[in-house]
Structure 1
């Protein structure tokens, strides 16, 4: 693997990391990968583990999240799932599962972070700590909303997910896209690199190749339009731009416009099913 770029953990530790490109899979790998990632998530700034609304960034995130929850559930329902059994890996504080449950799904959630699990419990959602606790079960739909990039032992985790999925089930994966315009624009400041919490950085090619050995194929790819703005906003803040909202709006807008033609959006949702 060749060195792609050098960056650092802007949000928690300030430590330096490197991204290496796996040419065969067309993906990036974070190095070094800390043995204990727990401390790198211990921050009030890690928004998916909190329900914070203290800053403008927090409020914007929570506002968009509220709208996206229903869209995510509708996306799954559009795949004609039969049994409506759903597993959400990396469930955060449980809001997606609540929305899915209200739509008739039988839900199970996995969340390693104890703080996030506690917040979910206060909402009436009990989350499991790891996939080991659902071993042997089968689900019609499995979702990972910006989670696959966090998972250590990637190939082993993909095998586990494939084994948990019903034969006619659907796997929905949302991940950042390092080939987007905003990624190329911000380079080492691109917030979606989010090292070392993001261990892997995917392209369309890499997602297809990683799941192909499990007889799974990408049947549809959908954009996450808001991510270009949100990631650009964080990236501008990392650069120290006091006018980060204005700059981020125009970069996000241009990134989305370019993606209309290139199909390389800031983040992408992959819908995978078993090959027939």
Structure 2
């Protein structure tokens, strides 16, 4: 597979296992210049969908079968409103909003109810069907938007899944209006919970996560066409990720230990800004 953005020398950082589907091991390679980790080997595009075919992949299934699933949805409902509040504050005049990697459509449903004109893209067919059941019609590819321009584009934990970063960033530039708002949330491998759990950190999620970002990564990748105006820590992510990481590490969902690690991660991030996940806000230049 062609690597159009990541072409500099890389060194071995960590070896992780796919705990969700295959059990296979993958290396994380450090690109020092971009402060970014790269999953190696990257699955071929034809094989990549196989790694998403699991009831455990909650963003595509809406599963509520386990305690962890129920906790995820409880936090998700609260965060949907908070995410929209962030966007409304930066774009009080509601217009058009495109959500890329919309999953089962929950964020778009909330945004539409709040007065936004919404569009969404989700390549996974099962997730699109579930979104349709909620009254949210999603397209399967960005290629279906030819001359469209949007006031806001959001990607909630999606950029780490994108096979070609350079192409994706160009598409974002083309689809966003001048001075439009770009919102991207991703895990942060420099957080305390990532450093604590190491190869068991659930947000590495290999090989579905092809890239692993730091704050430095975003300064490098978006410096030419976008201007960063803000960033916010997603404080609930450290607790949810720690709960999954405990299960991967010990075989048990140790709620108290996960809560301790998640809290410690957030407290450390108050001074370091290295939250478990970070939401970045950009304006198109």
Q: TM-score, normalised by structure 2?
A: 0.94
- Cα 1:106–1:253 shift into 2, 3 Å: same
Tell me which moved more, 229-238 or 76-85. 76-85
- SS across alignment from 2:219: helix
> d(CA) in 2 for partners of 1:117 and 1:80?
27
Superposition pairs of residues 206-221 of structure 1, within 5 angstroms? 206-214=217-225, 216-221=226-231
Give RMSD over aligned pairs. Answer: 1.0
> d(CA) in 2 for partners of 1:226 and 1:252?
8
Residue 42 (structure 1) aligns with: 53
Cα-to-partner distance string for 1:22-78 (whole Å, 9 max, x where unaligned):
111110000111012101000000010121111100100011111111111111111
* Contact 1:81-1:170 within 8 A present in 2 as well: no
- SS across alignment from 1:264: coil
**Offset, 1:16:** 0.7
Question: Structure 1, unaligned stretches of length 5 or more?
Answer: none
Residue 40 (structure 2) aligns with: 31
Residue 122 (structure 2) aligns with: 111
Decide which of 256, 263, 270 is 2:273's aligned counterpart: 263
Greater than 2 Å deviation, 4+ residue runs? 80-83, 240-243
Residue 246 (structure 1) aligns with: 256
1:125 and 2:136 aligned: yes
* Contact 2:88-2:94 within 8 A present in 1 as well: no
Question: Structure 2, unaligned stretches of length 5 or more?
Answer: 1-9
**Offset, 1:82:** 3.8
**Offset, 1:80:** 2.2
> d(CA) in 1 for partners of 2:168 and 2:35?
19
* Contact 1:208-1:217 within 8 A present in 2 as well: no
Aligned length: 274
* Contact 1:81-1:169 within 8 A present in 2 as well: no
Residue 7 (structure 2) aligns with: none
Tell me which moved more, 128-137 or 178-187. 128-137
> d(CA) in 2 for partners of 1:2 and 1:88?
34
Residue 197 (structure 2) aligns with: 186
Q: TM-score, normalised by structure 1?
A: 0.97
> d(CA) in 1 for partners of 2:248 and 2:79?
25
